[in-house]
Structure 1
Amino acid sequence: MTTLAKYIFLVITLTFMSCEDVIDLDLPAAAPRLVIEASLDWEKGTLGNEQTIKLSLSKPYFDADGITAVIGSSVKVTNDTDGTVFVFIDQNNGLYTTDSFIPILNQSYTLEVIHNGDTYIAHETLMPVVDIQDVRQSLEGGDDDEALDVTIYFNDPIAETNFYLLKFKEQGDLFPALFDLKDEFTNGNQMSAYFEKFNDEESDEEEFVSGDVVDIQFYGVSQQYYNYLHILIGQLNSGGGPFGSTPVGLKGNCLNTSNPSKTAFGYFRLTQVVQTSYIFQ
């Protein structure tokens, strides 16, 4: 390499090295808002009396501190037909619990949360779910005919419109895969849904192999919760690509009746759920 070439190479190298500056983004910080995680799920075959509601505060995107638990609030759920009130006791860690809830299918309930002088109200109906008829593995059900998938089968009721939430989670994974389903075009017929994984070095995801265990949760949900889920799942799966879902403000059903502009995040849902697990052969 000539002396001139060495000099040019050194200048280019130093130039690129000098460009490695850390950029601090000055993002606008919104005031913390109440986050209400009120999922009252009644598993078939249980009493459903033990329920938990979690309250916390929202945080800035780059805040690395832990979740800010909300304590000292008033939380209760009321049966809208007979007026029975179920008080959720503050556990001083952001969790509010009861062991006296009475789940009734197709019954509407009202959630009331009082926090810092503001009253949050939400309405929801406890929806039933059908049983899972069968769980099978195959190579044909998914998008890749060389990758194993797991499929559940269930019989949709014919006399009503139904909406479902389905969770698949391989044991050891951090998060489940979520699917929203409705019987608009399959009312009264057998329905199915499959879960398949692909080899992906970037996400460390691997295809299913013999011995893998998948936990499955199948929920009956209301139409309004289905609409909320449909937007949420669409945004989660968009991946940020050019053809992904356009991000929109996602509002739950917990309304601040004291100060409507100060809305809460989260959702009050009531569901019946069936659970099972599948071991790949």
Structure 2
Amino acid sequence: MNRFIKTTILLLSIALASCEDVIDVPVQTGPTRLVVEASLDWEKGTAGNEQSIRLSNSTAFFDTTSNTAVTGASVKVTNDSSGAEFVFADLNTGEYATSSFVPVIGQSYTLEIIHNGETYSAQETLMGVPDITELFQDTADGFDDEILEAHIVFTDPPEEGNYYFFRFEKQGELLPDFEVGDDEFVNGNEVDWWYEIEEADDENDVRQPFAAGDVLDIDMYGISEAYNNYITILIDQIGGVGIFEATPVSVKGNCINLTNPDNYAQGYFRLTEFNRTSYTFE
């Protein structure tokens, strides 16, 4: 009997092994495009003069070895009212930097990039952000009234059409969370924005709700309506694709190619003022 069982297992193993085939999944590839990471963010309480822009080339989905840094480009940002130009020096790493930028709330700026004989351009307005007036913890307002949430309190300006972008990162976690909001229903009022980490319902999600001693890093940005629309789509895609979620698509930013419009750039040119703070749970 034992010999019969061993023989049967051996034959079954051979049969299963013979059925294993390597499946080569074809991935559709598109043209290589310039990727623009141009976030000129002015932290409250600082001069905001030191800014950087990163340029790279897009790559195939499974390509993790190529050097994508773009060097040798000409990069500058212009104040559309005064005409002041801020030239970003090539650091030969794909990063371009300046220490002379002058941020002005409500001012429009134009980004110009010249690369491979083509000129890319984007225009954006530097948006302000209100002060954070209070930080506290509670359990009353979240989706689960038994776990801790952080509360960020601020007063929305009376002008209509204010948009906000939040970056939350629990210290010790690998990735941050992003949220966006606007003042459609709270214009000119005090706002209590809360954030929590719910109990994981996915075995691959190892994040845990907040506990005493946890530290949450918080960035709150004032953003334009156009950037709000752009980042909302990206946040939806970061969340994964479910039955009621958006299908990932190539999202165009605001960087256009003046020389060859079909060869548009990916990425976005944004200008924001932001608050940076942290909260330690008790």
2:32 aligned residue: 32
Aligned AA for 2:272?
T
CA distance in 2, matches of 1:227, 1:44: 24
Q: 1:17 to 1:65 in 2, by over 3 A?
A: same
2:255 aligned residue: 254
Q: 1:47 to 1:65 in 2, by over 3 A?
A: same
Residue pairs, 1:63-78, within 5 angstroms: 63-65=63-65, 67-78=67-78
CA distance in 2, matches of 1:16, 1:136: 58
Greater shift in the superposed pair: 131-140 or 219-228: 131-140
1:277 aligned residue: 278
TM-score normalised to structure 1 length? 0.93
- Amino-acid identity (%): 51
Q: Is 1:142 aligned to residue 147 of structure 2?
A: no
The DSSP-based 3-state class of the residue aligned with 1:230 is helix
1:132 aligned residue: 132
Residue pairs, 1:139-178, within 5 angstroms: 139-178=139-178
CA distance in 1, matches of 2:88, 2:259: 21
How big is the shift at 1:2? 8.9
What is the aligned-residue RMSD (CA, Å)? 1.9
CA distance in 1, matches of 2:19, 2:141: 50
Q: Is 1:243 aligned to residue 244 of structure 2?
A: yes
Over residues 188-237 of structure 1, what are the superposed CA-to-partner deviations in whole Å (9 max), with x where a residue is unaligned? 12222222223434122122111111110000001111111111111212
How big is the shift at 1:102? 0.5
The DSSP-based 3-state class of the residue aligned with 1:133 is strand
1:103 aligned residue: 103
How big is the shift at 1:113? 0.4
Aligned residues of 2:168 and 2:219 also touching (Cα < 8 A): yes
The DSSP-based 3-state class of the residue aligned with 1:42 is strand
- Count of aligned residue pairs for this structure pair: 280
2:93 aligned residue: 93
In structure 1, runs of 5+ residues without a counterpart are none
CA distance in 1, matches of 2:245, 2:12: 38
How big is the shift at 1:146? 2.0
CA distance in 2, matches of 1:81, 1:62: 44
How big is the shift at 1:277? 0.3
The DSSP-based 3-state class of the residue aligned with 1:128 is coil
Over residues 128-179 of structure 1, what are the superposed CA-to-partner deviations in whole Å (9 max), with x where a residue is unaligned? 1001111111222221222221121111112332011011011222321111
In structure 2, runs of 5+ residues without a counterpart are none
CA distance in 1, matches of 2:238, 2:193: 19
Greater shift in the superposed pair: 19-28 or 209-218: 19-28
How big is the shift at 1:123? 0.2
Aligned residues of 1:141 and 1:151 also touching (Cα < 8 A): no
Aligned residues of 1:130 and 1:156 also touching (Cα < 8 A): yes
How big is the shift at 1:279? 0.6
CA distance in 2, matches of 1:234, 1:49: 33
CA distance in 1, matches of 2:6, 2:95: 65
2:183 aligned residue: 183
